[in-house]
């Protein structure tokens, strides 16, 4: 039925579009007195070709916030200019063309929020009319024979369009985030000394730091103008009249394509192109500049760097910068992905008698691979090896980190002060680098596990010595009595102990791949199993902390609450199989406990919880975060299916079983339902396993179960990641929208992917990848397992390494709607 309805929906959609308020607008001059009102499906003023629109753009995921802006009318949610410094206005606000002030933006109460009066150029006469032309430029004029007295091209925001240029001290500025259009941290400008520079700014003072990238660096200082002409050619015009091409070598501009050049919110310059005849394909990205902004230029005056203080810059798979906190640190503002990181421990203090403080006993140095914080050095230490360098930092109360290099201009040991700036990680960074963190000691307060020890004074030392002497005398007597008692005990129980040890050794030999914990250890680690993280099929998961190597680490302890033959079998499966798996997209098993009737598993602790909590919350995660999560999950499944020593079918892929680590990496968890296949075995028969909504049809038809059941579940999961909604929503959606798999195919068939993602601006801007991901998901949920791709093919298609076939058959919704 979904396939039949898709054609009807497509026809109705095209009819609605033809009758929509935007499409019905007359083009041409807009006389003084005309106005627009911010409202859902409100009107806008179109350019003659209908390519651009001026008016109130409703912000995604909001009901009553609108941005006065210019956008591509035929490509959803591609804003190229905004007024009012990017600040949105409430529903009911209006904009009017006036003779004296030009454009006037008012709130619903009539208060003036923004106008162009201070920017009107020339003298004599008022504004007569406004218009938006086919280049995307909105202009105000006195008469047709005069030059514009104001135009949007003279006041760019984060986008340059063909026909625009930048002169001395002119710039484009990034927005604050993907969905926040106010001015962000980065700008691309023509400096007064003739250099095209990319730099960060201080949001409070507006101060521009040194450039982290310079275009045409061999001729820096000779730029006269940055030009993006109406033919689509982009170049730097030098003072001697020569030009420096800014377009990719394999790219030739065409009038048949839309183009835009933007400074993204994360400080990257990006060139996009889209065919005018096939706008549903969305934008194609042709160039990213710079290629690696984290290490492009190491300058002293970069402020905190690309990321905030104590934060480390690295590149993701899309060559976009990602800021992460080092071990022992966390974001000061969890919502600011480029913000500062704060230590999760008390920083070392130099107060009091620093010479008597044994810092080496309270702090550790943790190595950060391929990492450095540049220009934080305050002292060079003569040391011939890394250990001497580390000891020098541990003994120095001012030292927050240290780096060591054996050869080169910066050879030796360099100590660094806090806070740390310009953090970066890259394979080209080969120095040894260590950051100082406080040793964590378990306290009785689970909310404050770090115990601060007071410095030893002379008085305290004397007291301590007396305690040691008295305690030592008592201890010797106790040890003698204990030895006598143990001798008697072992004499009478030697045979019993020998038998018990043999049984215990046989048990532990079966679980030799991971660490063994006693029940008492895990009881103490979880503070009596107090803090519950979640509940699974066979037990409850608790948060705990274990010590090792001088550091304490959070863990997730899964306590099985129903002991039976099946449960014990699942327990052995997890311990033996998961203990041998090692992949960055799998949750690592740390250890286990098998003591009498107690069965516990100890996993890595995932600080960001489950994917279900992440994508089904009120605020959507960014599109690029969802892309990376989908790709990471696919890689984890590929490893289970093809790359680990024993092939594993997970059998229960769903958002609750995908966890997120501190860097938002997807980590597959909970192998309690895994069905193992020996090498060269391709299928198995078993009872129905998994969760309703994610279970492949073959489970219900007594057909052989292969790794393709995981592919099916991944397809449903991928649609949920794309749309940020559950696969079955009977309460929230009516008709076809209730079943996500049906709804996705209908939207794909009728070219309504913007409806599928609920007008998610980030996703729609990346339309080519959005369409590709939807197609991959639809191939994965095909009813016939043989038609579904393997996870290797899925991974390649998601990463753009393989084409996605476009002859999609209509998938089945059998397993989604079946009750069991």
In the predicted structure, residue 688 carries a pLDDT above the cut 70: no
For residue 671, what pLDDT is reported? 65
Q: pLDDT: is 48 or 801 the higher one?
A: 48
Contact call for residues 142 and 724 (beta carbons, < 8 A): no
Q: pLDDT: is 547 or 714 the higher one?
A: 714
Q: Would you please indicate which residues are annotated as catalytic (active-site) residues?
A: 652
Q: How much is the average pLDDT of 176-192?
A: 91
Q: How much is the average pLDDT of 79-94?
A: 94
Residue 708 assigned to a binding site: no
For residue 601, what pLDDT is reported? 87
For residue 494, what pLDDT is reported? 41
Q: How much is the average pLDDT of 430-457?
A: 53
Which of 84-88, 316-320, 733-737 has the least mean pLDDT?
Answer: 733-737
For residue 439, what pLDDT is reported? 78
Q: pLDDT: is 126 or 748 the higher one?
A: 748
In the predicted structure, residue 206 carries a pLDDT above the cut 70: yes
Question: Tokens in use for 422?
Answer: 């310009």
Q: Which residues of 667-683 are buried (b: 16+ CB within 10 A; e: fewer)?
A: bbbbbbbbbebeeeeee
Highest mean pLDDT among 159-168, 569-578, 701-710: 159-168
* Rounded distance between C-alpha atoms, residue 327 and residue 423, angstroms: 13
In the predicted structure, residue 570 carries a pLDDT above the cut 80: no
For residue 562, what pLDDT is reported? 57
Q: What percent of the chain has pLDDT over 70?
A: 76
**How many other CB atoms sit within 10 Å of the CB of residue 168?**
13
Question: Tokens in use for 785?
Answer: 């397992």
- Under 8 Å CB-to-CB from 502, ≥6 apart: which residues? none
For residue 591, what pLDDT is reported? 87
Question: Tokens in use for 293?
Answer: 């902004």
In the predicted structure, residue 744 carries a pLDDT above the cut 90: yes
739 pairs with which residues across the strands?
A: 728
Question: Tokens in use for 726?
Answer: 């559950």
Question: Tokens in use for 630?
Answer: 């989908």
Q: Is the peptide bond before 443 cis (omega within 30 degrees of 0)?
A: no
For residue 612, what pLDDT is reported? 93
664 pLDDT band, cuts 50/70/90, is confident
Contact call for residues 674 and 636 (beta carbons, < 8 A): no
For residue 513, what pLDDT is reported? 54
For residue 450, what pLDDT is reported? 32
3-state secondary structure of 111: coil
Determine whether 469 is exposed, middle or buried from the number of CB atoms within 10 Å of its CB (0-12, 13-18, 19+): exposed
Which of 357-366, 383-392, 632-641, 746-755 has the least mean pLDDT?
Answer: 357-366
- Helix, strand, coil percentages (3-state) for the chain, rounded to 5, are 25, 25, 45
Determine whether 541 is exposed, middle or buried from the number of CB atoms within 10 Å of its CB (0-12, 13-18, 19+): buried
* Rounded distance between C-alpha atoms, residue 316 and residue 799, angstroms: 12
Half-sphere exposure of residue 199: CA atoms within 13 angstroms, side-chain side: 22
Contact call for residues 808 and 748 (beta carbons, < 8 A): yes
Contact call for residues 649 and 577 (beta carbons, < 8 A): no
For residue 566, what pLDDT is reported? 53
Residue 1 DSSP one-character state: -
In the predicted structure, residue 394 carries a pLDDT above the cut 70: yes
358 pLDDT band, cuts 50/70/90, is very low
Q: pLDDT: is 394 or 579 the higher one?
A: 394
Q: What percent of the chain has pLDDT over 90?
A: 40
Which of 444-458, 588-602, 694-708 has the least mean pLDDT?
Answer: 444-458
Nearest to 160 by CA among 136, 143, 129: 136
For residue 569, what pLDDT is reported? 63
Nearest to 269 by CA among 303, 304, 325, 226: 226
Which residue segments constitute the domains of the chain, with CATH numbers given? 24-153 (2.90.10.10), 156-290 (2.90.10.10), 312-438 (3.50.4.10), 515-604 (3.30.200.20), 611-817 (1.10.510.10)
For residue 800, what pLDDT is reported? 85
Q: How much is the average pLDDT of 311-330?
A: 88
* Rounded distance between C-alpha atoms, residue 666 and residue 531, angstroms: 23
Which of 71-75, 88-92, 325-329, 661-665 has the least mean pLDDT?
Answer: 661-665
Question: Tokens in use for 411?
Answer: 């050879």
For residue 17, what pLDDT is reported? 37
Q: pLDDT: is 189 or 706 the higher one?
A: 189
β-pairing verdict for 164-166 and 223-228: antiparallel
- Under 8 Å CB-to-CB from 650, ≥6 apart: which residues? 637, 640, 657, 668, 671, 673, 674, 710, 713
pLDDT tens string 784-817: 999 999 999 999 999 888 889 988 988 864 444 4
231 pLDDT band, cuts 50/70/90, is very high
For residue 415, what pLDDT is reported? 92
Q: Which residues of 400-413 are buried (b: 16+ CB within 10 A; e: fewer)?
A: bbbbbbeeeeeeeb
Question: Tokens in use for 30?
Answer: 């807009």
Q: Is the peptide bond before 564 cis (omega within 30 degrees of 0)?
A: no
Give first-to-last CA distance, the chain, whole Å.
23
- Under 8 Å CB-to-CB from 42, ≥6 apart: which residues? 21, 36, 55, 56
Residue 691 Cα to chain centre, angstroms = 27
Question: Tokens in use for 722?
Answer: 């794309």
DSSP string of 514-558, one letter each residue: SEE--HHHHHHHTTTTT-EEEE-SSEEEEEEEEEETTEEEEEEEE
For residue 691, what pLDDT is reported? 63
CA distances from 254 to 80, 244, 251, 273, 766 (A): 19, 19, 10, 10, 21
DSSP string of 175-199, one letter each residue: ESSSS--SEEEEEEEE-TTS-EEEE
* Rounded distance between C-alpha atoms, residue 320 and residue 318, angstroms: 5
Half-sphere exposure of residue 634: CA atoms within 13 angstroms, side-chain side: 26
pLDDT tens string 142-179: 887 778 999 999 999 999 999 999 999 999 999 988 88
* Rounded distance between C-alpha atoms, residue 295 and residue 423, angstroms: 9
Question: Tokens in use for 110?
Answer: 């009539």
- Going 367 to 369 to 375 to 381, the CA torsion angle's sign is positive
Which of 280-284, 414-418, 452-456, 518-522 has the least mean pLDDT?
Answer: 452-456
Which of 156-170, 485-499, 664-678 has the least mean pLDDT?
Answer: 485-499
- Under 8 Å CB-to-CB from 544, ≥6 apart: which residues? 522, 525, 526, 527, 554, 555, 556, 557, 602
Strand order in the sheet with 208-215: 171-175, 183-190, 196-201, 208-215
For residue 470, what pLDDT is reported? 45
Tokens 């902004």 found at: 293
For residue 594, what pLDDT is reported? 85
For residue 143, what pLDDT is reported? 83
**How many other CB atoms sit within 10 Å of the CB of residue 204?**
6
Half-sphere exposure of residue 440: CA atoms within 13 angstroms, side-chain side: 23
For residue 166, what pLDDT is reported? 96
In the predicted structure, residue 648 carries a pLDDT above the cut 80: yes
CA torsion 425-763-737-743 (nearest 10°) is -90
55 pairs with which residues across the strands?
A: 44, 69
CA distances from 612 to 650, 659, 717 (A): 18, 9, 10
For residue 74, what pLDDT is reported? 92
DSSP string of 304-344, one letter each residue: T-SS-TT-EEEE-TTS-EEEEPPTTEEESSTT-TTS-EEES
- What is the chain's mean pLDDT, rounded? 80
- Under 8 Å CB-to-CB from 174, ≥6 apart: which residues? 158, 183, 184, 185, 186, 187, 263, 264, 265, 266, 267
Residue 9 DSSP one-character state: H
Claim: this prediction has a pTM higher than 0.75: no
Q: pLDDT: is 479 or 617 the higher one?
A: 617
In the predicted structure, residue 357 carries a pLDDT above the cut 90: no
- Under 8 Å CB-to-CB from 484, ≥6 apart: which residues? none
pLDDT tens string 771-785: 999 999 999 999 999
Which of 202-216, 445-459, 531-545, 582-596 has the least mean pLDDT?
Answer: 445-459
């Amino acid at each position: 039925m979904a396939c039949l309805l898709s054609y009807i929906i497509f026809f109705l959609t095209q009819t609605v579009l033809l009758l929509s308020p935007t499409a019905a607008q007359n083009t041409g001059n807009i006389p003084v007195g005309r106005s627009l009102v911010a409202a859902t499906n409100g009107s806008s003023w179109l350019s003659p070709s209908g390519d651009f629109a001026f008016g109130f753009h409703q912000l995604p995921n909001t009901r009553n916030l609108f941005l006065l802006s210019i956008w591509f009318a035929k490509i959803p949610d591609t804003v190229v200019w905004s007024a009012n410094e990017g600040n949105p206005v409430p529903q009911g606000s209006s904009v009017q063309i006036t003779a004296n002030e030009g454009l006037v933006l008012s709130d619903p109460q009539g208060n003036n929020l923004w106008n162009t009066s201070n920017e009107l150029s020339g003298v004599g006469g008022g504004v007569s009319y406004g218009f938006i032309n086919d280049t995307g430029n909105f202009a105000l004029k006195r008469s047709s024979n005069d030059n514009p007295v104001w135009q949007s091209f003279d006041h760019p925001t984060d986008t340059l369009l063909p026909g625009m240029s930048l002169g001395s001290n002119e710039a484009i500025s990034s927005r604050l985030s993907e969905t926040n259009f106010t001015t962000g941290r980065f700008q691309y400008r023509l400096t007064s000394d003739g250099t095209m520079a990319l730099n960060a700014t201080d949001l409070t003072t507006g101060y521009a730091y040194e450039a982290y990238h310079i275009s045409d660096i061999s001729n820096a200082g000779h730029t006269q103008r940055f030009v993006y002409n109406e033919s689509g050619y982009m170049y730097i015009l030098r003072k001697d009249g020569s030009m420096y091409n800014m377009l990719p070598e394999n790219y030739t501009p065409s009038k048949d394509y839309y183009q835009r050049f933007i400074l993204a919110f994360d400080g990257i310059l990006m060139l996009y192109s889209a065919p005018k005849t096939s706008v549903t394909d969305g934008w194609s990205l042709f160039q990213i500049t710079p290629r690696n902004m984290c290490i492009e230029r190491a300058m002293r005056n970069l402020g905190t760097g690309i990321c905030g203080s104590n934060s480390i810059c690295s590149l993701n798979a899309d060559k976009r910068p990602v800021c992460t906190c080092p071990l022992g640190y966390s974001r000061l503002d969890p919502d600011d992905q480029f913000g500062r990181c704060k230590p999760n421990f008390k920083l070392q203090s130099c107060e009091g008698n620093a010479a008597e403080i044994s810092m080496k006993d309270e702090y550790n140095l943790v190595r950060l691979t391929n990492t450095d914080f540049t220009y934080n050095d305050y002292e060079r230490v003569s040391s011939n090896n890394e250990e001497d360098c580390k000891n020098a930092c541990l003994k120095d109360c001012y030292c927050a980190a240290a780096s060591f290099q054996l050869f080169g201009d910066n050879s030796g040991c360099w100590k660094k002060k806090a806070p740390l700036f310009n953090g970066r990680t890259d394979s080209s960074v080969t120095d040894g680098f260590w950051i100082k963190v406080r040793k964590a000691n378990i306290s009785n307060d689970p909310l404050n596990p770090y115990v601060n020890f007071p410095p030893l004074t002379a008085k305290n030392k004397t007291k301590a010595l007396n305690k040691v002497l008295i305690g030592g005398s008592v201890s010797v007597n106790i040890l003698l009595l204990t030895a006598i008692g143990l001798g008697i005990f072992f004499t009478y129980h030697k045979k019993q102990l020998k038998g018990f040890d043999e049984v215990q050794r046989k048990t532990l030999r079966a679980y030799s791949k991971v660490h063994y914990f006693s029940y008492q250890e895990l009881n103490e680690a979880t503070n009596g199993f107090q803090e519950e993280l979640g509940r699974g099929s066979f037990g409850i998961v608790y948060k705990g902390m274990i010590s090792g190597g001088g550091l304490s680490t959070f863990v997730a302890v899964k306590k099985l609450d129903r002991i039976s033959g099946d449960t014990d079998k699942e327990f052995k499966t997890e311990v033996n199989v998961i203990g041998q798996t090692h992949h960055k997209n799998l949750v690592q098993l740390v250890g286990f406990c098998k003591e009498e009737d107690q069965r516990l598993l100890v996993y890595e602790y995932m600080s960001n919880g489950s994917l279900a909590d992440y994508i089904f919350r009120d605020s959507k995660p960014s599109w690029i975060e969802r892309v990376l999560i989908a790709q990471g999950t696919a890689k984890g499944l590929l490893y289970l299916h093809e790359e680990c020593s024993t092939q594993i079918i997970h059998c229960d892929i769903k958002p609750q079983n995908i966890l997120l680590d501190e860097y938002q990496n997807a980590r597959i968890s909970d192998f309690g339902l895994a069905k193992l296949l020996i090498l060269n075995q391709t299928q198995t028969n078993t009872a129905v396993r998994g969760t309703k909504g994610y279970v492949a049809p073959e489970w219900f038809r007594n057909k052989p179960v292969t790794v393709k059941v995981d592919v099916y579940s991944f397809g449903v999961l991928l649609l949920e990641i794309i749309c940020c909604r559950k696969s079955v929503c009977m309460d929230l959606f009516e008709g076809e929208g209730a079943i996500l798999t049906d709804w996705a195919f209908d939207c794909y068939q009728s070219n309504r992917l913007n409806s599928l993602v609920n007008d998610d601006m980030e996703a729609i801007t990346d339309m080519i990848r959005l369409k590709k991901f939807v197609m991959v998901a639809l191939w994965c949920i095909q009813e016939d397992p043989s038609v579904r791709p393997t996870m290797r093919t899925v991974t390649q298609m998601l990463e753009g390494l393989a084409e996605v076939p476009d002859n999609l058959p209509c998938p089945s919704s059998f397993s989604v709607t079946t009750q069991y």
